[in-house]
Amino acid sequence: MERLSGTRIASVLILAVVAAALAWVVSPAALPGVTRIVVLAGAVMSLNLLIGNLGLISMGHGLFIGAGAYIVAVANVKYGVPVGQGALLAIGGAVLLAIVTGFMVLRARALFFALLTLAFSQVAFVFVARDYSLTGGDDGLVGIDIPAWLDGDVQKHLLAVATTTLVCLLILIMLASPFGATLRAIRDNRDRVASLGANPTFHEFVGYIIASALGAMVGVTAAVTREAVEPGVFSWVTGATLLVMVALGGRSAFFGPIVGLAILELTRSWVQSFSEHGDLAIGALVILCALLFPEGVAPWANDVFAAHRARKREAG
Amino acid sequence: MDWRLLLAQIVAGIAAGALYFLVASGLTLIWGAFSVINLAHGSFFMIAAFATTACVAAFGPQAGLLTALIAVPLAVCALAVVLEKTLFHRVHRFGMWGQLLFSFGLLLILNDLVRTIFGPVPRSISPPEMLRSYVALGGVRIASYQMAILAVTGLVALFLWILLARSRTGRLIRAAVDDPAMLGAVGVDVSRLRARVMGIAAFLAGIAGVVAAPRGAVNTALDVQTVLIAFAVIVIGGLGSVWGALFAALLIGVAEAVSTLYIDQGSEVVIFAVMALILIVRPTGLRTIVGRA
């Protein structure tokens, strides 16, 4: 069982402080971009709760991020609900959605699970993109009325950092609990857990709901920091992008997804600054990483560190 | 309800489903026999479609399409074998995650190359003169190009059936679907077989790409669109099952075409809705109903 070690909590908090400090380091024009990446970090972490700890490869995580974003946006823009209450509504709605879809998607395994989740988010995408009266159709919704204390890029950035940090801490606490240990046991050997008397499907169901609620939290933050939503979050692009980030960084390391996110996004923005062949560069980079680190960059880095430390201990 | 319109839509759906089958059958074989996920499979389709537009531009609608039908699938097949021999075989042993990353990278690169070579503007070509009209069958008007698609894909499906059921390669492929480790243990060169299956799969996708090119706009979003539909087809049909894929492809094609009579746009949602419905009822696809290749 993984323990809730001080180093882990400290590393999350240090990362959070560094991310927050970026608000004063980067130029004001670049700050919204950085905020977007911080929000994405929360999204990949919540997705890796499913992939890394449950072995459930979801390609439809955009469904819950989108649900969170859209519930808060629709409630605010169409019905004048303040963002705070809207956020609670969004998380509640996402939990309901997870309960309903969970019954259906958890019957399937592996690739079937991936495509079934993808199908649900794709269906949601079409419904949201077609409905111009409620969800604003292809254009999405703009003009979310945010409270005064959030007005400003720096404040929004801090909110994004706070959300992502909260997501990371919640996941850490869950992983350290007996519940988290059972989840990983189910991932490794489902039948054995069942034979020991635990109910694998129930645990998977709860894990799925938690990951969805965390995804919705991230979605709310995405909507509030951008003051707008657009239907693209539901589409397969979101699900696939998050999945590739998790695969690239490494699903078995805690910060793996964030490493993958950093590699992809930094390369993209760097290459796009001087060339329009961003896809070519990213494709080559992803292939290179697949050949060198098929299990992700972060687990490999962890191994290197561990070996280095062991050698030091032997020498000293 | 006008039954003539309905019948015409069903024929159109079967023609579309036949194309889906050509793309998905290769993908399901690669998956079933070697557990390889190839996200770049749709890129073969897209490359073939773009190459066809180039052929038509060079040799005219009739000769161009005929040249494309012979040369392009072979070229795409060669490309796939080269990719397999140089790069893809390195990630096979890494399992699903390595393959996922690798083929995603390949998808991005091929897409960028196609966009660079052919430009970002969608291209469209018209079918050859003799296939532009309609055939009247008992009062139902069916575009003759759709009949041509059905003829070509029917021939290819027949070829695939003979290949799988009668040839030595087919026996080995079926054995690999059943138990790949055992096949290697009895002394079959599995990596060579894999290259061959990759080639066949790309060949089939190439034919689909050529035949599909005159149907609509050829654009750079085709690769992802195609591979998503192909994955939907293979999970509905059951992984590794060629004839399950055939049934699933026709089902999806017809459902999509018939739905256009009732909803004006967004027919792709029908594909995913059908997939969701079937997977909810049968979480491992239809394979057990339709039977295994």
Angle at B80 between CA A239 and CA B25, to 5 degrees: 65
Residue B290: band (very low, low, confident or very high) from pLDDT cuts 50, 70, 90:
very low
Interface test mutation site (partner A, options B235, B264, B282, B284, max chain A beta carbons within 10 A): B235
B244: chain A residues, CB-CB within 8 Å: none
A118: chain B residues, CB-CB within 8 Å: 228, 272
Do the Cβ atoms of B283 and A109 come within 8 Å? yes
A259: chain B residues, CB-CB within 8 Å: none
Do the Cβ atoms of B275 and A119 come within 8 Å? yes
**For the residues of chain A, what is the DSSP string, one character each?**
-----HHHHHHHHHHHHHHHHHHHHS-TTTHHHHHHHHHHHHHHHHHHHHHHHH----S-THHHHHHHHHHHHHHHHHH---HHHHHHHHHHHHHHHHHHHHHHHTTS-HHHHHHHHHHHHHHHHHHHHH-TTTS-GGG-EE-----GGG-SHHHHHHHHHHHHHHHHHHHHHHHHSHHHHHHHHHHH-HHHHHHTT--HHHHHHHHHHHHHHHHHHHHHHHHHHHTEE-GGGGSHHHHHHHHHHHHHH-TTSTTHHHHHHHHHHHHHHHHHTT-S-HHHHHHHHHHHHHHH-TT-HHHHHHHHHHHHHHHHHHH-
pLDDT in tens, B103-122: 889 999 999 999 999 888 88
pLDDT of residue A77: 85
* B170 contact partners, CB below 8 Å, separation of at least 6: B162, B163, B164
Do the Cβ atoms of A122 and B90 come within 8 Å? no
How far apart (Å, rounded) are the C-alpha atoms in residues A290 and A248? 8
A277: chain B residues, CB-CB within 8 Å: 112, 116
How far apart (Å, rounded) are the C-alpha atoms in residues B25 and B205? 9
pLDDT of residue A91: 93
Backbone angles phi, psi at B179, to 5 degrees: -160, 90
ipTM above 0.85, yes or no: no
pLDDT of residue B291: 38
Residue A2: band (very low, low, confident or very high) from pLDDT cuts 50, 70, 90:
low
pLDDT in tens, B143-187: 788 888 888 888 988 888 888 888 888 888 888 877 777 888 888
pLDDT of residue B264: 66
Share above pLDDT 90 across residues of chain B, in percent, rounded to a whole number: 20
Give the one of A109, A126, A286 whose C-beta lies nearest to B101's C-beta.
A286
CB-based contact (8 Å) between A116 and chain B? Answer: yes
How far apart (Å, rounded) are the C-alpha atoms in residues A63 and A306? 38
How far apart (Å, rounded) are the C-alpha atoms in residues B15 and A246? 38
User: 10 Å Cβ neighbour count for B248?
Assistant: 30
pLDDT of residue A46: 92
CB-based contact (8 Å) between B275 and chain A? Answer: yes
pLDDT of residue B289: 41
- For A:274-293, CB contacts with B below 8 A are 277, 279-280, 282-291
How far apart (Å, rounded) are the C-alpha atoms in residues A31 and A225? 11
The pair of structure tokens assigned to A22 is 């970026």
User: Mean of the pLDDT values across residues A1-17?
Assistant: 80
User: Mean of the pLDDT values across residues A36-45?
Assistant: 92
How far apart (Å, rounded) are the C-alpha atoms in residues A28 and A154? 9
Asked whether B113 and A280 are in contact (CB, 8 A), the reply is: yes
How far apart (Å, rounded) are the C-alpha atoms in residues A208 and A63? 13
CB-based contact (8 Å) between B45 and chain A? Answer: no
CB-based contact (8 Å) between B38 and chain A? Answer: no
Give the one of B102, B108, B235 whose C-beta lies nearest to A282's C-beta.
B108
pLDDT in tens, B5-50: 888 888 888 988 999 999 998 888 888 778 888 888 999 999 999 9
A115: chain B residues, CB-CB within 8 Å: 231-232, 235, 275, 279
Asked whether B237 and B56 are in contact (CB, 8 A), the reply is: no
The residue among A126, A115, A52, A64 whose CA lies nearest residue A90 is A64
- For A:137-176, CB contacts with B below 8 A are none
Handedness of CA A232, A237, A243, A249 (dihedral sign): negative
Residue B131 has pLDDT above 80, yes or no: no
pLDDT in tens, B35-45: 888 888 999 99
A288: chain B residues, CB-CB within 8 Å: 105
Give the one of A108, A126, A290 whose C-beta lies nearest to B102's C-beta.
A290
Asked whether A84 and A147 are in contact (CB, 8 A), the reply is: yes
pLDDT of residue B45: 93
Give the one of B90, B100, B104 whose C-beta lies nearest to A291's C-beta.
B90
Asked whether B275 and A115 are in contact (CB, 8 A), the reply is: yes
Do the Cβ atoms of B279 and A112 come within 8 Å? yes
User: 10 Å Cβ neighbour count for A305?
Assistant: 10
pLDDT of residue B292: 39
Residue A85 has pLDDT above 70, yes or no: yes
pLDDT of residue B293: 36
Please tell me the distance in Å from B148's CA to the nearest CA on chain A. Answer: 32
Asked whether A73 and A144 are in contact (CB, 8 A), the reply is: yes
Share above pLDDT 70 across residues of chain A, in percent, rounded to a whole number: 98
> How buried is B69 (Cβ within 10 angstroms: 0-12 exposed, 13-18 middle, 19+ buried)?
middle
Do the Cβ atoms of B108 and A108 come within 8 Å? no
**Please, what is the angle between helix B222-237 and helix A110-130, to 10°?**
130
CB-based contact (8 Å) between B272 and chain A? Answer: yes
User: Mean of the pLDDT values across residues A211-234?
Assistant: 90
* A153 contact partners, CB below 8 Å, separation of at least 6: A23, A28, A31, A32, A35
Element (H, E) at B229: helix B222-237
Handedness of CA A41, A47, A51, A57 (dihedral sign): negative
Q: Which residues pair with A38 in a beta bridge?
A: none
CB-based contact (8 Å) between B43 and chain A? Answer: no
Interface test mutation site (partner B, options A51, A101, A103, A111, max chain B beta carbons within 10 A): A111
Interface test mutation site (partner B, options A109, A117, A279, max chain B beta carbons within 10 A): A279
pLDDT of residue B266: 64
Do the Cβ atoms of B273 and A123 come within 8 Å? yes
Do the Cβ atoms of A279 and B116 come within 8 Å? no
Q: Cα(first)–Cα(last) distance of chain A, in Å?
A: 30
Residue A290 has pLDDT above 50, yes or no: yes
- Mean pLDDT of chain A, nearest integer: 87
- pLDDT: which is higher, A149 or A212: A212
pLDDT of residue B265: 64
In the A/B pair of chains, how many CB contacts fall below 8 A?
A: 123
How far apart (Å, rounded) are the C-alpha atoms in residues A283 and B44? 16
Domains and CATH numbers, chain B: 3-290 (1.10.3470)
How far apart (Å, rounded) are the C-alpha atoms in residues A93 and A140? 19
A182-195: b or e for each residue (b if 16 or more CB lie within 10 Å)? bbbbbbeebeebee
Q: What is the greatest pairwise CA distance in chain B? A: 60
Residue B204: band (very low, low, confident or very high) from pLDDT cuts 50, 70, 90:
very high
Residue A316: band (very low, low, confident or very high) from pLDDT cuts 50, 70, 90:
low
Which residue of chain A is at minimal alpha-carbon distance from B105?
A: A283
B131: three-class secondary structure by DSSP: helix
CB-based contact (8 Å) between B23 and chain A? Answer: no
Residue B136 has pLDDT above 90, yes or no: no
pLDDT in tens, B54-103: 988 888 878 888 888 889 999 999 999 999 888 888 888 777 888 888 88
Which residue of chain A is at minimal alpha-carbon distance from B236?
A: A112
